[in-house]
Amino acid sequence: MERTLSIIKPDGVSRGLIGEVIKRFEESGIKITAMKMTYLSKKKAEGFYAVHRGKPFFESLTDFIASGPITVMVLEGEDVIQHNRDLMGATNYKEAKPGTIRADFATDIEKNVVHGSDAPETAATEIAYFFSSLEIVG
């Protein structure tokens, strides 16, 4: 069993896509073991995306993720990090496979609806950024 962090970004929340994203997770057998609505301050956003500091899109990315409410979830399942990435599709929605969340709903490379951890180490760090172990069920 593996865990990963999923974020429905401000574009996904404001466009009413929370239910759609959760439906895709549940229908594909992924278990949601923690979930909440929250905001990231600009400072918290910079901490979350620290690996991207210095990249040309860092300012814009952290402004955007701090621009409105987000939904954060812990997902659990076998190989769930890759499974979630398969459901999301490529970061650039133009390269995402048809039927993926980003191919279906993203409007640009930044407003790409969802975020998912990319490896076990980042999953552990990202989950701890939002949830204490007591908030995760199962």
Q: How far, rounded to the nearest angstrom, does the alpha carbon of residue 16 sit from its chain's CA centroid?
A: 15
Sign (positive or negative) of CA dihedral 78, 80, 85, 86: positive
- The residue from 112, 123, 126, 127 that contacts ligand CMP (CB under 6 A) is 112
Q: Examine residue 61 and tell whether it contacts ligand CMP (CB under 6 A).
A: yes
Q: Which is nearer to ligand CMP, 2 or 110 (CB)?
A: 110
Which one from 115, 126, 130, 131 is the annotated catalytic residue?
A: 115
From the list 3, 83, 102, 115, which residue makes contact with ligand CMP (rule: CB under 6 A)?
A: 115
Closest contact distance (angstroms) between CB of 134 and ligand CMP is 26
By the rule CB under 6 A, 103 interacts with ligand CMP: no
Q: Using CB under 6 A, which residues numbered 1 to 60 contact ligand CMP? A: 52, 57
Question: Is 91:14 a contact under the CB 8 Å cutoff?
Answer: no
Q: State the Cα–Cα distance between residues 100 and 111, nearest whole angstrom.
A: 15
Q: Quick one: which of 32, 103, 109, 124 contacts ligand CMP (CB under 6 A)?
A: 109
**Minimal distance in Å, beta carbon 104 to ligand CMP?**
16
Q: Is 52 assigned a catalytic role?
A: no
E strands, the chain, are 2-8, 31-38, 70-77, 114-116
For 77-114, letters b (16+ CB in 10 Å) and e give: beebbebbbebbbbeebeebeeebbbbebbeeeebbbb
Residue 110 makes contact with ligand CMP by CB under 6 A: yes
Which residues carry out catalysis? 115
Positions touching ligand CMP (CB under 6 A) are 52, 57, 61, 91, 109-110, 112, 115
